Amino acid sequence: MKIKKAIIPAAGLGTRVLPASKAVPKEMLNIVDKPAIQYIVEEAVAAGIEDILVITNRGKGVIEDHFDHAFELETKLKDNPSKKDIYDEVKAVSELANVYFIRQKVTKGLGHAVLCAKSFVGNEPFAVLYGDDVIITEPGKPTVTEQLCDAYEKFGCGTVGVKEVPRKDVSKYCSLDVTPIAGEERTMNVHKIIEKPTEEQIMSCFSILGRVILPPETFGLLEYYMTQIEEGQELFLTDAMNHLAGEGKLTAVDFIGTRYDMGNKLGIMKANCEVALNHKEIGDEFKAYLKDLVKTF
């Protein structure tokens, strides 16, 4: 079955990038000339996804504005022949996909945010593209979501995007027990997932980084695990994914692409620097600037 719906959880407070995120949602922080979340939506669209639900919270209405028509701005640009390229680019943002919004009224973790999308998704598989993670692939190459969709269609079960991270960083994410699938490149069966493991619990340095495809039964699992958490605890999406793994219903793809953590100051700077170097308008000039800058170190 083709993946036609995606969820983008974007309800986090962005405390790691304050004060920049005090008035501007971290998802709207720019990478050169586009907000981070636009890269994520464009990735979903490139994979053939038609309907996207963004999970937000109070104070993030500007995200909705970004994907809506800006009639006054568009009219002014349209009436100015010298601004045609900019007009086309601005107008295209509101026509990328069917983008919907819902608020996560209480902050109870990523699993709860995804559960908020149950009625939107219905009885079909869906993608989750984490709002903190922008993943760039080479032009003309499959996006990470496309890579996962291909695996889902081939194996017919949940699929997670993974990369090996330094052992010291595994505790920030999760650890997977995986075995390679014979005859498949970069694809593994997942047997177990431990969220934020201790050093002793680390099974491998493969961690889930920002992209997953899940079956509709995920919502029933999340509803069950929601009844198991205590007041003040978060519901992890990995709880449901670990259940799927235990039933032999989860694969992992060691994806090809560069991931930037937009909830992290250094991640934001890396994203801007590397995207700027390949930008058709400013790339050459920016590269020359960096070469001169390096001489001062």
Over range 240-255, report the average pLDDT: 98
How far is Cα 189 from Cα 249, in angstroms, rounded to an integer? 8
- Judged against a pLDDT cut of 80, whether residue 195 lies above it is answered with yes
Over range 9-21, report the average pLDDT: 89
Task: Give the global pTM.
Answer: 0.94
- Phi first, then psi, for residue 137 (nearest 5°) are -115, 165
- Judged against a pLDDT cut of 80, whether residue 2 lies above it is answered with yes
Over range 147-176, report the average pLDDT: 96
> What sign does the dihedral 175-266-105-250 (CA atoms) show?
negative
- Judged against a pLDDT cut of 80, whether residue 1 lies above it is answered with no
Please give the pLDDT value at position 126.
98
Strands 174-180, 258-261: pairing is unpaired
Could you report the per-residue pLDDT of 166-184, keeping only the tens digit for each?
999 999 999 999 999 999 9
Q: Pick the residue with more confidence: 229 or 284?
A: 284
pLDDT grade, residue 105 (50/70/90)? confident
Please give the pLDDT value at position 290.
96
Strands 98-103, 126-129: pairing is unpaired
Fold of 5-294: Spore Coat Polysaccharide Biosynthesis Protein SpsA; Chain A (3.90.550)
Please give the pLDDT value at position 232.
81
pLDDT grade, residue 27 (50/70/90)? very high
Please give the pLDDT value at position 107.
83
Q: Are 120 and 100 in contact (CB under 8 A)?
A: yes
